[in-house]
């Protein structure tokens, strides 16, 4: 395994042994209003940053104590009707996918068809396409299982056209489903859409995937209907269904800030040059505008190669401006590979930030199993998958099990202040493979 190092610095409150034991048994997290925004240091990475932000916000939905919905609606600019549609879509998808797994195929096709209709009606709020894509995948498979191959292939044609990165895993789907999916692949990809907006610099999504900032031209599209969505922080999104042929189609959008969100896009853009040491300036402005207790920022830049990106995530307390967590990792930028890395990292980091903590001034060393010891801890296992697949690099203090790495965590308190209140008190976790 190639050497991969990471330093995770989390300005957290150290906890004594009884608090560590409580965490291991499952503490009740503190309900707080929290949201995460993203940006890129290089303009050509804005589409990747949009994907990272979308994945991070999807992770917030998995943290029960995270109160994110009001900020999400305001940041993405969608109304209550879109919220109702997407809530119903997710409910129907959960029931339909379970019906499919239980081989209740008639019930599955009905529920999944309704879920897809609700997802389509919620496109203003549909930042994460995975639910819609998986619903289409299960629906096509259910029709094929039921002997309705022609209808199943039509479903797969849409999946190919709009979300080709979502496909049946041969280890999970039978050969006939995989075969019909492959036979549904379009024969040409010669279409293009030229997208413009006023103001410029909006993030343009084609088929629920961010493609970059306007103006831009998206090429390599198969013929048929494609969904174009343009977003700007705080603005009502623009959505258009475009019928693409062999030539080039055009989309012109006008984006207007929703009432009460004026200036949000400029505030978010101002984070680009921020040093991320304290939650002041535009970070505090965005946090206060969204009425948050905690605000997270994901910064995206190039990694060791063009196929990788470096992701830096920080979370700040809005009221005090104090940084409560910082993590950094390199991840593959490919569609479908970046997203699970971000989702698992954000979920772990946010759960740590929302965990009740008890101050302690003494120097404490935390071992690889999360125990309080006098020296650093080590844990070595056999090499396996790439490190970013095996371990959650932004994990907070707790049980640490890493494939092929040595883990040392040291908590150091400076001065007489409680650790976490003093910027010199930090949890430092270093990861490196042997």
Domain shared by 264 and 136, yes or no = no
Of 254, 278, 306, which residue constitutes the final position of a domain? 254
The pLDDT of residue 357 is 61
Domain shared by 424 and 275, yes or no = yes
Run of H or E residues at 405: strand 405-412
Run of H or E residues at 10: strand 5-10
Domain shared by 334 and 415, yes or no = yes
103-159 pLDDT per residue, tens: 999 999 999 999 999 999 998 888 888 899 999 999 999 999 999 999 999 999 999
Phi and psi dihedrals of 118, rounded to 5? -70, -40
CB atoms under 10 Å from CB of 184, counted, come to 18
Q: Specify the pTM.
A: 0.74
Domain shared by 265 and 179, yes or no = no
Least confident window among 23-27, 200-204, 213-217, 227-231:
23-27
Domain shared by 418 and 288, yes or no = yes
The pLDDT of residue 256 is 92
Distance CA 49, CA 46 (A): 5
Q: Which residues share a beta bridge with 33?
A: 67
Domain shared by 150 and 217, yes or no = no
Domain shared by 284 and 424, yes or no = yes
Domain shared by 306 and 397, yes or no = yes
Distance CA 187, CA 201 (A): 33
Q: How far is CA 363 from CA 8, 222, 289, 352, 359, in A?
A: 18, 61, 38, 20, 12
DSSP code of residue 349:
H
The pLDDT of residue 126 is 85
Q: What is the CATH number of the domain that holds 167?
A: 1.25.40.10
Q: Which residues contact 200 (CB under 8 A, 6 or more apart)?
A: 213, 214, 215
Q: How many residues does the chain have?
A: 434
Domain shared by 33 and 101, yes or no = no
At residue 383, does pLDDT exceed 70?
no
Q: Which of 3-7, 240-244, 367-371, 428-432 has the highest mean pLDDT?
A: 240-244
The mean pLDDT value for 273-284 works out to 93
Distance CA 201, CA 215 (A): 7
Q: How far is CA 51 from CA 236, 299, 311, in A?
A: 19, 12, 12
Domain shared by 60 and 164, yes or no = no
The pLDDT of residue 130 is 86
The pLDDT of residue 227 is 93
Distance CA 320, CA 327 (A): 20
Phi and psi dihedrals of 431, rounded to 5? -120, 135
DSSP string, 239-262: EEEEEE-SSEEEEEEE--BPTT-T
Distance CA 59, CA 434 (A): 31
Of 154, 183, 212, which residue constitutes the final position of a domain? 183
The pLDDT of residue 27 is 62
Domain shared by 146 and 90, yes or no = yes
- Both tokens assigned to 343: 């989702």
The pLDDT of residue 390 is 33
- Both tokens assigned to 76: 């993405």
Of 183, 203, 229, which residue constitutes the final position of a domain? 183
Q: Which of 60-64, 382-386, 411-415 has the highest mean pLDDT?
A: 60-64
Kindly give the pairing relationship between strand 364-366 and strand 405-412: antiparallel
Distance CA 279, CA 34 (A): 14
Structural domains counted in the chain: 3
148-189 pLDDT per residue, tens: 999 999 999 999 999 888 999 999 899 999 999 999 999 888
Phi and psi dihedrals of 253, rounded to 5? -120, 145
Domain shared by 114 and 170, yes or no = yes
Kindly give the pairing relationship between strand 364-366 and strand 372-373: antiparallel
Q: Which domain holds residue 392?
A: 5-75+260-433
3-state class (DSSP) for residue 417: coil
At residue 397, does pLDDT exceed 90?
no
321-369 pLDDT per residue, tens: 999 998 888 899 998 899 999 998 899 889 888 887 633 333 222 223 3
> In terms of C-beta density within 10 A (0-12 exposed, 13-18 middle, 19 or more buried), how is residue 246 classed?
exposed
Distance CA 163, CA 209 (A): 8
């Amino acid at each position: 395994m190639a050497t991969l190092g990471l330093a995770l610095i989390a300005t957290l409150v150290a906890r004594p042994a009884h608090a560590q034991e409580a965490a291991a048994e499952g503490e009740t997290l503190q309900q707080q209003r929290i949201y995460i925004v993203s940006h890129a240091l290089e303009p050509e990475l804005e589409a990747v940053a949009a994907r990272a932000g979308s994945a991070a916000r999807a992770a917030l939905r998995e943290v029960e104590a995270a109160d994110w919905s009001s900020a999400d609606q305001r940041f993405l600019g969608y109304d209550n009707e879109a919220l109702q549609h997407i809530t119903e879509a997710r409910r129907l998808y959960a029931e339909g996918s379970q019906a499919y797994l239980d081989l209740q195929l008639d019930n599955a096709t009905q529920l999944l068809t309704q879920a897809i209709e609700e997802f389509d009606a919620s496109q203003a709020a549909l930042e994460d396409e995975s639910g819609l894509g998986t619903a289409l995948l299960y629906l096509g498979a259910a029709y094929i299982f039921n002997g309705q191959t022609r209808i199943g292939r039509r479903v797969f044609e849409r999946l190919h056209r709009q979300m080709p990165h979502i496909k049946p895993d041969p280890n999970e789907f039978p050969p006939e489903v995989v075969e019909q999916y492959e036979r549904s692949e379009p024969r040409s990809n010669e279409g293009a859409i030229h997208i413009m907006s006023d103001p410029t610099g909006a993030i343009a999504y084609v088929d629920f995937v961010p493609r970059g900032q306007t103006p831009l031209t998206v090429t390599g599209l198969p013929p048929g209907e494609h969904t174009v969505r343009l977003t700007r922080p705080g603005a009502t999104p623009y959505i258009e269904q475009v019928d693409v042929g062999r030539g080039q189609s055009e989309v012109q959008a006008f984006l207007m800030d929703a009432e009460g969100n004026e200036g949000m896009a400029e505030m978010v853009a101002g984070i680009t040059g921020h040093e991320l040491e304290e939650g002041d300036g535009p970070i505090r402005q965005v946090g206060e505008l969204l009425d948050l207790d905690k605000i997270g920022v994901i910064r995206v830049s190039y990694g060791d190669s063009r196929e990788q990106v470096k992701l830096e995530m920080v979370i700040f307390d809005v009221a005090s401006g104090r940084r409560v967590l910082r993590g950094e990792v390199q991840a593959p930028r490919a569609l479908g590979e970046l997203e699970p890395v971000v989702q698992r990292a954000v979920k772990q980091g946010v759960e740590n930030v929302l965990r009740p903590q008890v101050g302690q001034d003494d120097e404490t060393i935390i071992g690889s199993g999360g125990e309080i010891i006098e020296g650093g801890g080590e844990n070595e296992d056999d090499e396996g998958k790439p490190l970013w697949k095996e371990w959650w690099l932004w994990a907070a203090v707790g049980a640490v099990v890493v494939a092929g790495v040595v883990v040392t965590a040291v908590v150091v308190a400076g001065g007489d202040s409680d650790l976490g209140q003093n910027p010199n008190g930090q949890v430092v976790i270093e990861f490196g493979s042997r």
